[in-house]
Amino acid sequence: MSMDASLIKTINKLQDAFSTVGVHNPVDLPQIVVIGSQSSGKSSVLENIVGRDFLPRGSGIVTRRPLVLQLINRPAPTAPTAESDDETGKF
């Protein structure tokens, strides 16, 4: 498990523990909830926030489970190099 995945897991456990004792949002992370009926554009809203098309599309294809997106602001390098990535996606 990567350090990022371990950190996310730890933060999720902390949020669950605090919620159990009645302390909500002890870690001040921005959160957005997108709610709507089927085919109302929820996935499109998330893709527009991210600025990338990353969800499957097509006739009869729907998103059938909750999505949790973690967005990390990475400033672009001043000069492009072979080692710089302009995007990352983990699924």
Task: Please state the domain extents for the chain.
Answer: 28-73
pTM recorded for the entire structure: 0.50
Given a contact cutoff of 8 angstroms between Cβ atoms, the answer to whether 12 and 20 are in contact is no
Of the candidates 5, 33, 9, the one whose C-alpha atom is nearest the C-alpha of residue 91 is 5
- pLDDT, one tens digit per residue, over 60-70 is 888 877 777 76
Of 89, 43, 48, the residue nearest 64 (C-alpha): 43
Q: What is the pLDDT of residue 25?
A: 67
**Dihedral angle computed from the Cα positions of residues 12, 14, 19 and 22, in that order, rounded to the nearest 10 degrees:** -170
What tens digit of pLDDT does each residue of 49-60 get? Answer: 888 888 888 888
Cα–Cα distances in Å, from 76 out to 59, 64, 69, 79? Answer: 36, 34, 20, 8
